Amino acid sequence: MLTETLPDKAHAPQAPRRLPGDLAIWFFILAELLAFAVFFSAYAFARARHVEEFNLYQQTLDLTAGAINTVLLITGSWFVALAVQAAHRDDQAAISRHLALGWLCGAGFLGIKCYEYAVKFGAGISLSTNTFYMFYISLTFFHFMHVILGMVILSVLWKQARRGVYGAHEANGLESGAAYWHMVDLLWIVLFPLVYVMR
Amino acid sequence: MMTLLANPIHRAWLILLAATALTWYLGESGAAGTGAIIAMLLIAFVKGRLVILDFMELRHAPRLWRILLEGWMLLVGGLILLAYWLSLK
């Protein structure tokens, strides 16, 4: 395997440019990114009209929980990127192992988010409490559903990987699912500072 | 350690963790205002680029896709900055 991958790396700059995964997943990712761009700017412009309210209620958010969740998504993304690398060097066992670890990071994210929601809902906060909480709940919940979909995709990839579908011969499906999972991470990288920290 | 840093994916992960710690610290220390917002947007841009180029593997993809995703980061960052500027008026 080493002799096969080494020359490839040495000639990487000359290698033809290649889009990982299916073209269709990238169109889907673009559509998702644009939808979130609208939500992120809606939040930012609503904040511009209610600065005091947003600054006040933002302080009630659990900054540390949000940061731990960032670490979980980044680490989950890292595991899935390693799964794709494992496929390219035909290491079957490492593909499914890294996919499972990525899935666990997603589960950890959902657990912490549920704890955050439980605290807020327990305090009687809802979508109609005020504009800030309306945005906080709807933005994070919309993203929450994307994490769930990402985990469904990782489950399918894991099952396929266990059956030996992916390897040096075939990684297209794996790369497509991985790209979606990285998008979920990318969205949180903007959402976390925007909603939890910026003031 | 050398083998760890030779893989761009490991390198990206370590920088992403450090950048997240920095954003958390800025929040905990109560950083606010123009300087803080610009710093946080820059950190988010660096993080987003690492995810786009190293995790999504778009560094060696057709340039169009790199431009589209990095452009998305710039668009969102620009709109957030514009909204912040409006809030100062």
pLDDT at A12 over 70: no
CA atoms of A139 and B72, how far apart (whole Å)? 18
Name the band, by pLDDT with cuts 50, 70 and 90, for residue A3: very low
pLDDT at B3 over 80: no
Neighbours of A49 (CB within 10 A): 12
Q: Given an 8 Å threshold on Cβ–Cβ distance, is B9 in contact with A82?
A: yes
Please name every residue paired with A167 in a beta bridge, in sequence order, or none if there are none: A170
If you ran DSSP here, which 8-state letter would residue A160 be given?
A: H
Which residues fall within 8 angstroms of residue A181, CB to CB, at 6 or more apart?
A76, A77, A80, A102, A150, A153, A154
Mean of pLDDT values over A47-70: 97
pLDDT tens, position by position, B7-65: 999 999 999 999 999 999 999 999 999 999 999 999 999 999 999 999 999 999 999 99
Mutate to test the interface with B, among A8, A9, A19 (most CBs of B within 10 A): A19
Mean of pLDDT values over A65-92: 97
Q: Give the model's pLDDT for residue A55.
A: 96
If you ran DSSP here, which 8-state letter would residue A12 be given?
A: G
Q: Give the model's pLDDT for residue A1.
A: 40
How far is it between the farthest Cα atoms of chain A?
62
As a three-state string, the secondary structure of chain B is CHHHHHCHHHHHHHHHHHHHHHHHHHHHCCCCCHHHHHHHHHHHHHHHHHHHHHHCCCCCCCHHHHHHHHHHHHHHHHHHHHHHHHHCC
For a pLDDT cut of 90, what percent of chain A falls above it?
A: 91
Q: Give the model's pLDDT for residue A5.
A: 46
Q: Give the model's pLDDT for residue A14.
A: 60
Owner of token pair 């490492």: A94
Q: Give the model's pLDDT for residue B1.
A: 63
Owner of token pair 């893989």: B7
Find chain A residues with C-beta within 8 A of B40's C-beta: 193, 197-198
Q: Given an 8 Å threshold on Cβ–Cβ distance, is B47 in contact with A175?
A: no
Query: How many separate domains does chain B show?
Result: 1
Using CB atoms within 10 A of its CB, is residue A78 exposed (0-12), middle (13-18) or buried (19+)?
Answer: buried
pLDDT tens, position by position, A131-162: 999 999 999 999 999 999 999 999 999 999 99
Q: Give the model's pLDDT for residue A13.
A: 53
pLDDT at A17 over 80: yes
- Looking at every residue in chain A, the average pLDDT score rounds to 94
pLDDT at A2 over 90: no
Q: Given an 8 Å threshold on Cβ–Cβ distance, is B72 in contact with A37?
A: yes
Which domain does B56 fall in, by range?
A: 2-87
For residue A158, give how far its alpha carbon lies from the nearest alpha carbon of chain B (Å). Answer: 18
Chain centroid to CA B86: 23
* More confidently predicted of A112 and A12: A112
pLDDT at B2 over 70: no
Please give the domain boundaries of chain A with CATH numbers for all domains.
49-197 (1.20.120.80)
Mean of pLDDT values over A34-62: 97
Residue ranges of B 65-84 with Cβ closer than 8 A to chain A: 65, 68-69, 72-73, 75-76, 79-80, 82-84
Mutate to test the interface with A, among B55, B81, B88 (most CBs of A within 10 A): B55
pLDDT at A4 over 70: no
Angle of helix A23-49 relative to helix A172-191, nearest 10 degrees, comes to 10
The model carries a pTM of 0.93
B3 vs A: CB within 8 A? no
Rg for chain A, CA atoms, rounded: 19
Which amino acid is residue A134, in one-letter code?
A: M
pLDDT tens, position by position, A117-137: 999 999 999 999 999 999 999
**Which residue in chain A has the smallest CA separation from B75?**
A37
B7 vs A: CB within 8 A? yes
